[in-house]
Amino acid sequence: MIHANSVTGSVATAQSQARAIASTYDTPAARLNADGGALATSRAECNIEKDPARCRYDEWYEFPYYGMGISFAVVDEHGKVLLAQNQLAYYVRESGLTFPAIAPQFDESFFSRVDVRLRPARSGAPGQLDGREVTLVTYNVSPSGATVYLLISPLDAEAAVAPVDRWLRLGLPAAILFVAMVAWWAAGRALRPVERMRDELAHITAADMSSRVPQPRTGDEIARLAATMNETLDRLADAAERQRRFVADAAHELRSPLAGLRNAAEVAATHGAAVDPEVLRTGTERLQQLTDDLLLLARLERTAPARGKPVDIAAIAEELVGERRYRVPPDERFAVVADGPALVIGREEELGRMLKNLLDNAARYARERIDVTVTEPEPGLVRVEVHDDGPGIPQADRERVFERFARVDEARDRRHGGAGLGLAIARDIAERYGGRLYAADATSGARLVAELPKSPHA
């Protein structure tokens, strides 16, 4: 920036000087005195006896800036040097610097700029600007057709930058060291809460997930990170607790049918009698049903839902109800009401399992009637309602019935109800396909409602 500003200032000064030189040269007397193309020199360099014309100091002094260190040349329309001074005079005389026969293209203010490289002197004597590329500001002398070339020395800009360069050479390493130390200190201070969080996380295990990472009150990204980590730990702790309860409940539920089968076998072995086939059938069926439910729950949690295809859930409901009418003994309590096909996206076997569990739940507690209704209450939504005339579900237990191994007291004991997994599986399947399953209000009995997104291809 300093170098650029210095160059800009030098160009402006050079333009002003070139204009002044051109105005002075554009007089008959000045042109007459420079007709010979002599190079301007000091009086000490000229021999008045041999070349008195070259020593007309008083006349040449009329040109502005003479003797002030300004390097310029006046060149006619054929490229001939009419007058030169200082550095340009030296390189014209010593290294044969020439100027173009055709003047550079001027702008509207008659100024232009050209870049030239100054060659060393033919004699081998060193020059101040040998080998340097310099800029010449040019100005048109009107009406004579001559051109003023004024040298912008790069030494001025370099002299302006030199103090800054010296300061940078001395101060930059210290500044870098200082900035590095400040950055190290600031980074350590900023990351100190992260280290505390890392230390706390290292002590959290699956056996004890009660600890939480400290949350700074700064409100910045680290505070939000701590909040997110604590929320994640809360979810993990909840999942671990649910898994522990599930394993304990599963073990407890498996113990009952296994104990029944063992007791039947021990009684038969003790008394030498045959095992009651009905006891074996009931125990093994219950054991197999519980095992199947546990495996299905594990699969639903472990795998993402398949892409699926359009499935007519109304047709599935009618098929499941029809099967119950052909059982022995037939179950005539079911009635299906559907306006027509109701397409949802999913896997047919999983959606069928959801409806089967809802129908099984209603069949356990209904007295005389179970209504299955399939409707489209609003665009993009399919609703399936299973309403029975049984004892119903108390308001306080409407969410608990969807928990695993949950039973409502009095109505859902082991003898009358199932293992408590049917409604949990049904809700998992409904949520798996973007829907929901809940217990709705009913004037009598229980009313379970499943809502699923309608297939866009319907």
| Residue 223 placed within a domain | no
3-state SS track over the chain:
CHHHHHHHHHHHHHHHHHHHHHHHHCCHHHHHHCCCCCCCCCHHHCCCCCCHHHHCHHHHCCCCCCCCCCCEEEECCCCCEEEEEHHHHHHHHHCCCCCCCCCCCCCCCCEEEEEEECCCCCCCCCCCCCCCEEEEEEEECCCCCCEEEEEECHHHHHHHHHHHHHHHHHHHHHHHHHHHHHHHHHHHHHHHHHHHHHHHHHCCCCCCCCCCCCCCCCCCHHHHHHHHHHHHHHHHHHHHHHHHHHHHHHHHHHHHHHHHHHHHHHHHHHHCCCCCHHHHHHHHHHHHHHHHHHHHHHHHHHCCCCCCEEEEHHHHHHHHHHHHHCCCCCCCCEEEEECCCCEEEECHHHHHHHHHHHHHHHHHHCCCCEEEEEEEEECCEEEEEEEECCCCCCHHHCCHHHCCCCCCCCCCCCCCCCCCCHHHHHHHHHHHCCCEEEEECCCCCCEEEEEEEECCCC
Predicted pLDDT of residue 414: 46
| Residue 433 placed within a domain | yes
Which of 129, 152, 175 delimits the end of a domain?
A: 152
Two tokens, residue 449: 């409602």
The residue written with tokens 């990204």 in the block is: 221
Tens digits of pLDDT across the chain (458 residues): 655 666 677 778 878 877 777 777 766 555 554 444 334 444 445 565 666 655 554 444 445 555 567 788 888 888 888 778 787 888 888 887 888 777 777 776 768 878 888 888 777 777 777 777 888 888 877 666 788 888 887 776 666 666 666 666 677 787 788 888 888 888 777 777 877 887 777 777 766 777 788 877 777 787 888 888 888 888 888 777 777 777 776 676 677 677 777 777 777 777 766 766 776 777 777 777 777 777 777 777 666 666 678 999 999 999 999 888 888 788 888 999 988 899 998 888 889 999 999 999 999 889 889 999 999 999 999 999 999 998 989 988 888 888 877 666 544 444 445 567 888 889 988 988 889 999 998 888 899 999 999 988 76
| Residue 194 placed within a domain | no
The CATH number assigned to the domain holding 324 equals 3.30.565.10
Contact 250, 256 (CB under 8 A): no
The CATH number assigned to the domain holding 135 equals 3.30.450
Which of 107, 128, 152 delimits the end of a domain?
A: 152
Predicted pLDDT of residue 101: 72
| Residue 225 placed within a domain | no
| Residue 419 placed within a domain | yes
Which of 103, 128, 152 delimits the end of a domain?
A: 152
Predicted pLDDT of residue 198: 79
| Residue 257 placed within a domain | no
Predicted pLDDT of residue 243: 74
Predicted pLDDT of residue 244: 75
Question: How many Å apart are CA 422 and CA 426, to the nearest integer?
Answer: 6
Predicted pLDDT of residue 247: 72
Q: Is the pTM of this model over 0.75?
A: no
Q: How many domains does the chain have?
A: 2
| Residue 26 placed within a domain | yes
Contact 40, 83 (CB under 8 A): yes
| Residue 356 placed within a domain | yes
Domain that holds residue 425: 307-453
Contact 353, 293 (CB under 8 A): no
Question: What would the pLDDT profile of 42-71 be if each residue is shown by its tens digit?
Answer: 444 556 566 665 555 444 444 555 556 778
Predicted pLDDT of residue 241: 76
Predicted pLDDT of residue 359: 92
Predicted pLDDT of residue 411: 44
Predicted pLDDT of residue 438: 94
